[in-house]
A and B are shown apart, each in its own frame.
Chain A
Amino acid sequence: MLKRITCTVCPLSCEVVLEIGENGEILSLTGNKCARGKTYATKEHTAPERTLTTTVKIKGGVHPLLPVRTDQPIPKGKLREAMLATADLVVEAPVKMGDVVVENFLDLGVNLIASRDLDRVE
Chain B
Amino acid sequence: MKREAKTKKAVQVAIVGGGIIGTLTARELSRYQLDVLLLEKEAEVGWGTTKANSGIVHAGIHEDPGTLKAKYCFPGNQMFPRLCEELDVSFKQTGILVVALAEEEMDMVHMYYQRGLERGVPVRLLSREEVLAQEPNLSEDVVGSVFAPEGGAVMPFELAAAAMENAVANGAELMTESPVIGAWVEGEKKYLETPTHIIEADVVINAAGLFADEIARMFGDDYFRILPRKGEEYLFDLELAGLVNSIIFPVPASKISKGILVIHTADGNIMIGPTSDNVPAKDDLGTTYSGFERIFSETRRLVPGLDPRKVITQFAGLRAASDRGDFIIEFSPNVPGLLHLAGIESPGLTAAPAIAADVPKMLEEQGFKLTPKENFQPRREGVVRFRQLSRKEQDELIRQNPAYGRMVCRCETVTEAEIVDAIRRGARTLDGVKFRTRAGAGRCQSGFCQPVIMEILSRELGIPAKQVSKRGAGSEQVKYEAKELLGKGVS
* Chain A residues proximal to chain B, CB less than 8 Å: 55, 57, 64-65, 83-84, 87-88
Contact = CB atoms under 8 A, between A and B. Distances in A.
12 contacts: A55-B482, A57-B482, A57-B483, A64-B482, A65-B482, A83-B486, A84-B486, A84-B487, A87-B483, A87-B486, A87-B487, A88-B483
A55 B483 CA distance: 9
B459 to A, nearest CB: 14
A112 to B, nearest CB: 15
Contacts of B483: 57, 87-88
A106 to B, nearest CB: 15
Contacts of A87: 483, 486-487
Contacts of A84: 486-487
Which has the most chain B C-beta neighbours within 10 Å: A65, A84, A87?
Answer: A87
Contacts of B482: 55, 57, 64-65
Contacts, number: 12
Interface of A is mostly: mixed
B197 to A, nearest CB: 39
A115 to B, nearest CB: 15
A57 B486 CA distance: 14
Contacts of B486: 83-84, 87
- A-B pairs with the 9 shortest C-beta distances? A87-B486, A87-B483, A84-B487, A84-B486, A83-B486, A65-B482, A87-B487, A55-B482, A57-B482
Contacts of A83: 486
A4 B61 CA distance: 71
A52 to B, nearest CB: 13
Which has the most chain A C-beta neighbours within 10 Å: B482, B483, B487?
Answer: B483
A83 B486 CA distance: 8
Nearest to B486: A87
B466 to A, nearest CB: 13
A60 to B, nearest CB: 16
A88 to B, nearest CB: 7
A99 B223 CA distance: 75
Contacts of A64: 482
B77 to A, nearest CB: 53
A46 to B, nearest CB: 26
Contacts of A55: 482
Contacts of A65: 482
